[in-house]
Amino acid sequence: MQNVKSVLVGDTSVGKSCLISYFTNEVLHYFDCTIPTVSDSYTGTLMMDGNTFCLEIGDTSGMEDFDRLRPESYPKTDVFLLCYSIERRASFENIESKWNPEIKHYCPDTPILLVACKTDLRSTSSHEDLITTNEGQALANKLRLSFCETSALTKAGLKECFEAAVKCTVDNQKALKRKAEKNERKMKKAGRKCSIM
């Protein structure tokens, strides 16, 4: 079984805790999901391509009070899930202005998956300024991130989201291995060119 450490990051109350609770089968009432998180960790398993993955899922607080503490949960993260709520445009705008730069600063080589949360509101809300799928995909393309949409309420996209996170991790590990092998070949080749006189 391969372990994958994922950390959810984004503004407060965008749906990070609910996303985790429904995936890990933790029973949380809807209102419990709005309780501010400092930093919690959950585990869940996922079968994919005949392999079992154990996901350690870190839930971080988006509150400014925790800006200095939050990065302490970042080391050794395999993939970040950068979350926004489709009903809160500020949470969407903060992806580019705050969250992506923060992650890139602390973990520049770690893959990031952009996650739209609360997509069930598109069919139930009278809110006119909901963030569209096209807007989310455009931002993901601009920032060179993978993208998925989820609803913890209807469970739509949850499994696919965590499968995408695992795929990002596996692909990144393969790319890092290829890069290391290429560098090793270069070093060996450069070593043969040296001559001692």
- pLDDT digit string, tens, across residues 119-170: 999 988 777 789 999 999 999 999 999 999 999 888 899 989 999 999 999 9
Q: In the predicted model, is pLDDT for residue 22 greater than 50?
A: yes
Q: Are 86 and 131 in contact (CB under 8 A)?
A: yes
Q: In the predicted model, is pLDDT for residue 96 greater than 60?
A: yes
pLDDT of residue 197: 54
Q: Are 58 and 41 in contact (CB under 8 A)?
A: yes
CATH of the domain at 83: 3.40.50.300
**Range(s) of the domain holding residue 98:** 2-193
DSSP 8-state class, residue 178 = H
Q: Are 33 and 18 in contact (CB under 8 A)?
A: yes
DSSP string, 83-134: EEETT-HHHHHHIIIIIHHHHHHH-TTS-EEEEEE-TTHHHH---S-PPPHH
Radius of gyration of the chain (CA): 19
Query: Is residue 192 classed exposed, middle or buried when 0-12, 13-18 and 19+ CB atoms within 10 A define those classes?
Result: exposed
Q: pTM for the complete prediction?
A: 0.83
Domains of the chain: total: 1
Q: In the predicted model, is pLDDT for residue 28 greater than 80?
A: no
pLDDT of residue 196: 55
- What is the arithmetic mean of pLDDT over 13-20? 87
